């Protein structure tokens, strides 16, 4: 073992707080070399969320309250946190982003004090892709700040009831673990506002938790609870069992009695599955229960508090998928009006005997409904496509296009400029969006290209007019991106074969070596080299082919549910080595890691070589290295076994041996979905887990969580390093797509660099993107993602937060002249500063209105600039290479011509400004002196006339009509501004007529200045002689050179003009 290897043995134990280069170099170096590698180190690179809110994502729970005529709404996203609106939905903002989880199961506003809000984390609509929570949260300030109030191991919570007469009395419906047994499940009660909890209703076994709670505010002590016995495994789901049943308490939840077919009339016999229960708010004796039962399933109604029941509707959508749609909502005023969320939204107006479909134009797969008690015409519902608002009692719906809680599974990019982002989403198809767009990435900049649930999606590298997209279960299509013509190209079984086993999230993979070659995995690996016209089956069954995990037709429990979500023993990950197309890696959902090194002729399962990894763990990602054909990475996800820890491994010998990457030791939280290598630096790795993004700069030995730009603890399901832009594109399952622009500075983070007090970090060449406008006002109810920065990004590193004194960043041109001083941030770790790449604005003479076109300086020419960072006594420099937009059709020579003409007008503006100041100077001096001369003295009249003539000349240069109206008055100043602005707006070769106009305006200005010269030459000598006789100061004309000196000293009439509004300011004009 060499010294470095020995050293690295210790480092994991010191991770995050002190990664010490000194440890290897010797303790004496400590004082200089110690540094931290943690979240602060990497989080100074900002991220931007580009949405989209167009397709939005699943909403699991919501609650609202109307006060003083305004509606406050809290929305619990399935995997995107809590969002709050104080204006009935016009705007929403996330209020749960500081917390450790983003999966929400229940939201309840305290009826007696709307400032108190309770959130149950962990969604209880237990589909295969559901996330996890960590207990109950309470806010006492209207949702602005939250405290975890316990039940941390409940994993998911379906409902929270707060006693309307006692806000400290709270009942929690803890659904409990989905994937394994646990104890913290059932109904819990707190009588002290969440400080302590008592389990008041326990399940009959370790797989039974609370399905739903219901009570009327009129009789809050009477409570109904459904208990649900359930279990999901990677290959099957069971809803129902001996623990399922319906219970009632009449003492506020302290004691419970079961209601069943033995003690209540009309109920179906056991076994039951999940029961949705609801009490009519206006009539507490009316109780509804939608019972999942083997015999007699359907909706039941009791008018006597549960003693006798009458069966109502049992139509298809009433009885299917109770695990996903186990909810009922009764109108606050009408006990016979009930909403039943399902694939469709159903509404009964006859007490549950019959139902109408009221989904309107909403997405579908509804989960929760809020009806405004003060105005039941206002109804808000959440479904798999987001949030919808009705103002007609729940018939027609407006989509809330301001909730970017979209649940991406995967993301890819192309090489367009700007590049597009492709990705599929849970129940929301597959979309293409812009990574940047003039005016911002509005919802309309995303286009739906396929259907169903969406997963992998790629541009066909062999024919970019086409896109590959897929729906659940390997339903892959090839789509013309322009016409949307779609061809189903899913591989099919051979003669006699029962079924191809495609995962819910079946992998498709584009070859990095052969344009257009595509793979898809079932239990076999398929490859097409002709756009899906034919598929070659290039492997045997690569899974364990365990028949016990292939009984999906029996999946569902009481209600069969075989949607392909439980398909198992399938290929889950594919990666062809970018270094050698003969090498293909495959990971399966039952624990196999397969490799072929001969172009798929032979395969070897190397999973057994991964010591320490539990057998049959879900290989969530297998990733071939971009740098070495023998190297690969694998992540394993064991959450389907109830193990939420992250696992990642690396091999450097084609899978013969594997090294565990110390994720847990570095504080990485959540099961791992993906590991990705940087495109340039093999030691720069990214891991996405259920709770965020972690970054390693040392080949996986230490990890830092990325927390820049308030990035929430959302599941990072997929990661792309854009090879041209060096952007990190993140697919989150619950908060849409995020982009960290230009992560190349991460590549520079070496121990040597991080031990420095500060340093500048070179980045990619700075592109002068076109200066463009776009978009259109969409109101406040619409999301728009931020664009890439148009300014030059200057990245620097500081070992410590800068608190005291100046931190100065200057940009110098090729002559060493300071072009600009740039505002900056002061964080520890990486920082970014933005330089506009503009010279200072021209000085502009004051007039009637500001000259907006000249409020900015010209953009500098492409070239190499120097950035100078001064921190205390230390100075750091780095070069910055500014280049043209590669989309430009014009040349650097054209750009120079544009710059030169703009500078010509710039100088004319400054010349004009000098002239106005000179004229005003003479005018002012004449007026001042006139005031000192007796009224009837001819000199006084002479001075006044001189001032008047100056005024006349000045009014030929600048507009003088004030009042704030559109006067249309234009003089030389205004004409120069228009010309300057138009030249500035387009950086190609300027038009001949622009050059001619600059020439003519310059001449017109000179003509007026000549008038002024003539005036002063003619009159000043005489006037000054007369003034001298009266011992008054002579009047002089401000020389342009003197004005220029003042300007450079910062006292001219431009941006650096005097700070104060002098009393005489208004008299200037």
Partner 1 sequence: MRHAVIVLIAVSCLSVSAHAQTAEELVNKNIQAKGGMEKIKAITSVRMIGKFDGGGGFTAEQSQENKRPNLVRETFSLQGMTAITAYDGTTGWRIRPFGGHKDPQLIGEDNLRDLLLDADFDGPLVDYKEKGNTVEYLGHDTVDGDDALRLKVTLRNGDIIYYFLDPDTNLEIRKEVQEFIRGSVRESVVELGSYKAVGGVMFPFSISQGSKDNPRAQTTTVEKMEVNVAIPDSEFALPASLKPGAKADAGKK
Q: Among residue numbers 124 through 153, which ones bind partner 1 (CB under 8 A)?
A: 141, 144-145
Q: Which is nearer to partner 1, 11 or 901 (CB)?
A: 11
Q: Nearest Cα to 263, choosing from 280, 277, 250, 248?
A: 248
Contact 619, 673 (CB under 8 A): no
Q: Which residues inside 721-750 make contact with partner 1, applying CB under 8 A?
A: none
For residue 727, what are the CA distances in angstroms to 48, 656, 746, 764, 765? Answer: 11, 33, 11, 11, 13
Return the residue of 582, 709, 870, 978 that touches partner 1, per CB under 8 A.
709
Rule CB under 8 A: is residue 702 a binding residue for partner 1? no
Rule CB under 8 A: is residue 605 a binding residue for partner 1? no
Rule CB under 8 A: is residue 1061 a binding residue for partner 1? yes
Q: Which is nearer to partner 1, 175 or 784 (CB)?
A: 784
Q: How many C-beta atoms surround the C-beta of residue 626 within 10 A?
A: 19
Please spell the DSSP secondary structure of 543-564, one letter per residue. Answer: S---GGG--GGGTEETS---SS
Q: Which is nearer to partner 1, 363 or 871 (CB)?
A: 871
What 8-state DSSP symbol labels residue 307? S
Return the residue of 554, 598, 962, 1007 that touches partner 1, per CB under 8 A.
962
Nearest distance, CB of residue 619 and partner 1, angstroms: 30
Contact 4, 25 (CB under 8 A): no
Return the residue of 25, 812, 1038, 1055 that touches partner 1, per CB under 8 A.
1055
Both tokens of 432, joined, read: 């293409």
- 879 burial class (0-12, 13-18, 19+ CB within 10 angstroms)? exposed
Token pair 């010309």: residue: 979
Q: Which is nearer to partner 1, 420 or 828 (CB)?
A: 828
Q: Which residues inside 85-104 make contact with partner 1, applying CB under 8 A?
A: 86-87, 93, 98
Q: How many C-beta atoms surround the C-beta of residue 12 within 10 A?
A: 17
Return the residue of 8, 15, 35, 42 that touches partner 1, per CB under 8 A.
42
Start-end of H helices in 231-335: 316-319
For residue 664, what are the CA distances in angstroms to 69, 307, 645, 660? Answer: 50, 53, 7, 10
Return the residue of 435, 461, 544, 705 that touches partner 1, per CB under 8 A.
705
Q: Which residues inside 993-1012 make contact with partner 1, applying CB under 8 A?
A: none
- Strand-by-strand arrangement of the 329-330 sheet: 329-330, 338-341, 345-348, 356-357
Rule CB under 8 A: is residue 807 a binding residue for partner 1? yes
Distance, in Å, from the CA atom of 180 to the CA atom of 639, rounded to the nearest integer, reads 9
Rule CB under 8 A: is residue 48 a binding residue for partner 1? yes
Taking CB under 8 A as the binding criterion, the range among 37-45, 403-411, 686-694, 938-946 that sits at the site for partner 1 is: 37-45
Return the residue of 34, 604, 630, 680 that touches partner 1, per CB under 8 A.
34
Q: Which residues inside 507-566 make contact with partner 1, applying CB under 8 A?
A: none
Return the residue of 112, 415, 710, 877 that touches partner 1, per CB under 8 A.
710
For residue 953, what are the CA distances in angstroms to 853, 908, 960, 1054? Answer: 24, 17, 12, 21
Nearest distance, CB of residue 764 and partner 1, angstroms: 21
Question: Residue 380: what are its φ and ψ, rounded to 5°?
Answer: -120, 130
Both tokens of 1032, joined, read: 């008054």
Nearest distance, CB of residue 844 and partner 1, angstroms: 4
Number of residues near partner 1 (by CB under 8 A): 93
Rule CB under 8 A: is residue 818 a binding residue for partner 1? no
Return the residue of 8, 37, 39, 290 that touches partner 1, per CB under 8 A.
39
Both tokens of 429, joined, read: 């198809």
Return the residue of 54, 75, 844, 957 that touches partner 1, per CB under 8 A.
844
Rule CB under 8 A: is residue 445 a binding residue for partner 1? no
Distance, in Å, from the CA atom of 895 to the CA atom of 909, rounded to the nearest integer, reads 21
Q: Nearest Cα to 637, choosing from 625, 626, 649?
A: 649
The answer to whether the Cα torsion of 586, 587, 588, 590 is positive or negative is: positive
How long, in residues, is the chain?
Answer: 1069
Nearest distance, CB of residue 87 and partner 1, angstroms: 7
Which residues on neighbouring strands pair with residue 278, listed in sequence order?
Answer: 288
Rule CB under 8 A: is residue 828 a binding residue for partner 1? yes
Taking CB under 8 A as the binding criterion, the range among 207-215, 261-269, 539-547, 834-842 that sits at the site for partner 1 is: 834-842
- Strand-by-strand arrangement of the 70-77 sheet: 59-67, 70-77, 82-85, 93-94
Q: Which is nearer to partner 1, 837 or 943 (CB)?
A: 837
Rule CB under 8 A: is residue 4 a binding residue for partner 1? no
- 485 burial class (0-12, 13-18, 19+ CB within 10 angstroms)? exposed
Q: Which is nearer to partner 1, 200 or 739 (CB)?
A: 739
Rule CB under 8 A: is residue 14 a binding residue for partner 1? yes
x-or-dash string of contact with partner 1, 248-277, rule CB under 8 A: ------------------------------
What 8-state DSSP symbol labels residue 897? H
Token pair 């100077």: residue: 921
What 8-state DSSP symbol labels residue 189? E
Rule CB under 8 A: is residue 1066 a binding residue for partner 1? yes
Rule CB under 8 A: is residue 707 a binding residue for partner 1? yes
Q: Which is nearer to partner 1, 130 or 848 (CB)?
A: 848
Distance, in Å, from the CA atom of 12 to the CA atom of 917, rounded to the nearest integer, reads 68
Rule CB under 8 A: is residue 826 a binding residue for partner 1? yes
Half-sphere exposure at residue 641, Cβ-oriented, CA atoms within 13 angstroms: 14
Rule CB under 8 A: is residue 80 a binding residue for partner 1? no
Distance, in Å, from the CA atom of 173 to the CA atom of 220, rounded to the nearest integer, reads 15
Rule CB under 8 A: is residue 816 a binding residue for partner 1? no
C-alpha triplet 163, 167, 169: angle, nearest 5°: 60
Nearest distance, CB of residue 712 and partner 1, angstroms: 12
Rule CB under 8 A: is residue 802 a binding residue for partner 1? yes
Rule CB under 8 A: is residue 766 a binding residue for partner 1? no
Nearest distance, CB of residue 668 and partner 1, angstroms: 15
Nearest distance, CB of residue 602 and partner 1, angstroms: 47
Rule CB under 8 A: is residue 113 a binding residue for partner 1? no
Rule CB under 8 A: is residue 970 a binding residue for partner 1? no
Contact 130, 158 (CB under 8 A): no
Q: Which is nearer to partner 1, 897 or 1051 (CB)?
A: 1051
Nearest distance, CB of residue 529 and partner 1, angstroms: 44
Rule CB under 8 A: is residue 176 a binding residue for partner 1? no
Taking CB under 8 A as the binding criterion, the range among 160-168, 332-340, 727-735, 815-823 that sits at the site for partner 1 is: 815-823
Nearest distance, CB of residue 938 and partner 1, angstroms: 32
Q: Which residues inside 1034-1053 make contact with partner 1, applying CB under 8 A?
A: 1053
Which stretch of DSSP H or E encloses residue 746? helix 744-747
Q: Which is nearer to partner 1, 144 or 970 (CB)?
A: 144
Contact 554, 539 (CB under 8 A): no
Nearest distance, CB of residue 692 and partner 1, angstroms: 11
Return the residue of 180, 191, 790, 945 that touches partner 1, per CB under 8 A.
790
Distance, in Å, from the CA atom of 173 to the CA atom of 106, rounded to the nearest integer, reads 9
Token pair 């308490």: residue: 249
Q: Which residues contact 873 (CB under 8 A, 6 or more apart)?
A: none
Rule CB under 8 A: is residue 821 a binding residue for partner 1? yes
x-or-dash string of contact with partner 1, 655-694, rule CB under 8 A: ----------------------------------------
x-or-dash string of contact with partner 1, 847-876, rule CB under 8 A: -xxxx--xxxx-x-----------------
Q: Which residues contact 649 (CB under 8 A, 6 or more apart)?
A: 610, 613, 633, 634, 635, 636, 658, 659, 660, 661
Which stretch of DSSP H or E encloses residue 277? strand 272-279
């Amino acid at each position: 073992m060499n010294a470095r290897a020995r050293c690295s043995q210790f480092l994991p134990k010191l991770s995050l707080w002190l990664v010490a280069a000194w440890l290897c170099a010797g303790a004496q170096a400590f004082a200089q070399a110690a540094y931290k590698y943690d979240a602060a180190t990497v989080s100074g690179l900002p991220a931007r969320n580009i949405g989209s809110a167009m397709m939005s994502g699943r909403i699991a729970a919501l609650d609202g309250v109307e006060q003083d005529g305004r509606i406050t709404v809290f929305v619990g996203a399935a995997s995107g946190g809590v969002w709050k609106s104080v204006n009935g939905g016009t705007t929403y903002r996330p209020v749960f982003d500081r917390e450790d989880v983003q999966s929400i199961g229940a939201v309840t506003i305290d009826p007696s004090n709307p400032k108190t809000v309770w959130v149950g984390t962990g969604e209880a609509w237990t589909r295969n892709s559901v996330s996890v929570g960590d207990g109950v949260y309470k806010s006492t300030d209207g949702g602005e700040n939250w405290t975890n109030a316990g039940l941390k191991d409940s994993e998911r919570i379906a409902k929270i009831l707060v006693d309307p007469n006692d806000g400290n009395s709270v009942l929690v419906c803890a659904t409990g673990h989905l994937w394994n047994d646990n104890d913290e499940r059932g109904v819990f009660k707190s009588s002290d506002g969440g400080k302590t909890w008592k389990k008041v209703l326990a399940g009959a076994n370790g797989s039974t938790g609370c399905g739903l709670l219901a009570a009327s505010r009129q009789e809050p002590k009477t409570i109904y609870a459904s208990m649900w016995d359930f279990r999901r495994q990677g290959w099957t789901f069971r809803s129902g069992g001996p623990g399922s049943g319906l219970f009632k308490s009449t003492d506020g939840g302290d004691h419970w009695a079961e209601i069943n077919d033995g003690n209540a009339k009309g109920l179906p016999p056991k076994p039951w599955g999940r029961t949705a229960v609801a009490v009519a708010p206006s009539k507490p004796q009316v109780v509804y229960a939608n019972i999942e039962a083997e015999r007699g399933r359907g909706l039941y109604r009791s008018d006597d508090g549960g003693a006798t029941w009458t069966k109502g509707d049992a139509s298809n959508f009433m009885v299917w998928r109770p695990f996903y749609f186990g909810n009922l909502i009764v109108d606050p005023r009408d006990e016979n009006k009930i909403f039943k969320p399902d694939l469709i939204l159903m509404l009964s107006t006859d007490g549950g005997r019959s139902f109408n479909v009221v989904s309107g134009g909403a997405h579908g797969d509804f989960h929760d409904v809020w009806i405004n008690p003060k105005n039941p015409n206002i109804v808000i519902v959440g479904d798999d496509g987001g949030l919808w608002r009705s103002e007609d009692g729940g018939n027609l719906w407006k989509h809330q296009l301001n909730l970017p809680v979209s649940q991406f599974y995967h993301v890819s990019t192309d090489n367009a400029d700007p590049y597009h982002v492709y990705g599929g989403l849970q129940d929301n198809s597959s979309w293409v969006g812009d990574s940047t767009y003039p005016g911002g990435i509005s919802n309309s900049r995303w286009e739906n290209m396929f259907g169903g649930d969406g997963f992998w999606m790629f541009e066909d590298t062999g024919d970019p007019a086409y896109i590959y997209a897929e729906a659940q279960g390997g339903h892959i299509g090839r789509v013309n991106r322009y016409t949307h013509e779609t061809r189903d190209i899913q591989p099919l079984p051979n003669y006699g074969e029962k079924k191809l086993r495609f995962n819910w999230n079946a992998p498709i993979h584009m070859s990095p070596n052969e344009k257009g070659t595509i793979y898809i995995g079932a239990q076999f690996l398929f490859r097409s080299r002709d756009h899906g016209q034919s598929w070659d089956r290039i492997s045997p069954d690569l899974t364990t082919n365990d028949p016990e995990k292939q009984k999906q037709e029996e999946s569902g429990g009481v209600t069969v549910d075989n949607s392909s979500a439980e398909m198992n023993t399938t290929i889950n990950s594919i990666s062809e080595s970018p270094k050698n197309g003969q090498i293909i890696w495959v990971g399966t959902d039952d624990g196999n890691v397969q490799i072929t090194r001969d172009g798929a002729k032979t395969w070897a399962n190397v999973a057994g070589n991964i010591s320490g990894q539990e057998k049959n763990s879900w290989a969530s990602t297998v990733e071939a290295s971009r740098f070495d054909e023998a190297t690969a990475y694998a992540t394993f996800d064991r959450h389907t076994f109830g193990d939420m820890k992250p696992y990642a491994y690396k091999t450097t010998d084609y899978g013969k041996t594997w090294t565990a990457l110390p994720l847990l030791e570095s504080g990485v939280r959540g099961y791992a979905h993906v590991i990705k290598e940087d495109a340039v630096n093999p030691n720069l790795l990214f891991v996405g887990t259920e709770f965020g993004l972690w970054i390693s700069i040392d080949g996986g030995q230490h990890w830092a969580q990325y927390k820049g730009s308030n990035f929430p603890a959302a599941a990072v399901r997929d990661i792309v390093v854009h090879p041209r832009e060096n952007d990190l594109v993140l697919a989150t399952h619950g908060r849409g797509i995020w982009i960290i622009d230009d992560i190349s500075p991460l590549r520079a983070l070496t121990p040597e660099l991080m031990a420095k007090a500060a340093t500048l970090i070179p980045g990619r060449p700075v592109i002068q993107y076109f200066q463009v406008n776009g978009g259109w006002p969409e109101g406040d109810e619409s999301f728009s993602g931020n664009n890439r920065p148009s300014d030059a990004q200057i990245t620097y590193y500081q070992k410590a937060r800068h608190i005291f004194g100046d931190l100065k960043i200057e940009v110098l041109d090729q002559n060493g002249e300071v072009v600009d001083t740039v505002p900056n941030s002061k964080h520890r770790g990486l920082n970014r500063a933005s330089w506009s790449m503009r010279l200072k604005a021209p000085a502009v003479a004051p007039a009637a209105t500001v000259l907006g076109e000249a409020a900015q300086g010209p953009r500098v020419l492409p070239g190499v600039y120097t950035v100078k960072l001064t921190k205390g006594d230390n100075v750091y420099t780095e070069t910055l290479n500014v280049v043209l937009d590669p989309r430009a059709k014009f040349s650097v020579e054209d750009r120079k011509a544009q710059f030169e003409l703009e500078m010509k007008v710039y100088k004319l503006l400054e010349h004009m400004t000098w002239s106005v100041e000179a004229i005003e100077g003479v005018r002012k001096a004449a007026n001042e002196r006139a005031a000192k001369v007796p009224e009837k003295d001819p000199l006084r009249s002479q001075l006044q006339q001189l001032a008047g003539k100056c005024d006349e000349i000045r009014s030929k240069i600048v507009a003088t009509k004030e009042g704030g109206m559109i006067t249309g008055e234009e003089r030389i100043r205004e004409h120069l501004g228009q010309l300057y602005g138009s030249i500035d707006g387009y950086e190609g070769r300027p038009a001949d007529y622009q050059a001619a106009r600059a020439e003519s305006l310059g001449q017109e200005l000179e003509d007026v200045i000549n008038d002024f010269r003539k005036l002063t030459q003619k009159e000043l000598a005489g006037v000054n002689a007369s003034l001298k006789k009266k011992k008054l100061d002579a009047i002089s004309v401000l020389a342009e050179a003197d004005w220029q000196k003042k300007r450079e000293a910062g006292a001219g009439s431009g941006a650096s003009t005097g700070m104060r509004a002098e009393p005489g300011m208004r008299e200037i004009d």
